[in-house]
Amino acid sequence: MALSALVRFRAGGLLGFNVIALQRQAEGNWTQHQMSSRLWPQRQAELVAALAEAGFVQVESYGDLQGTPFDAASSGNLVLTARKG
């Protein structure tokens, strides 16, 4: 089986995330299955505010699972930790 992912930037800040799975059948023919979803990316500040509004405290932002400080300009990931207050 082969998988391919494609992300498209849509109007209004939405992302279109598409995954295509290709599978070769025993007789040599290929089948294709596409899964699509629309995603609304949220920024770090929006997520921190939503957690605080929901009653979470000690909200921390990291750029990876090793605990590197989050930098909006250079971090490839956003990892949040919080405690329910």
The mean per-residue pLDDT over the stretch 38-55 comes to 93
In the prediction, which pLDDT does 82 show?
A: 96
Q: Is the pLDDT of residue 14 over 80?
A: yes
What pTM value is reported for the model? 0.62
pLDDT beyond 90 at 51: yes
pLDDT at position 27 is 86
Q: What is the pLDDT of residue 10?
A: 85
Predicted local confidence at residue 9, as pLDDT: 83
C-alpha 3/C-alpha 65 separation (Å) is 25
Residue 44 reports pLDDT greater than 80: yes
Tell me which residue has tokens 């920024």.
Answer: 43
Q: How far apart are CA 73 and CA 63, in angstroms?
A: 11
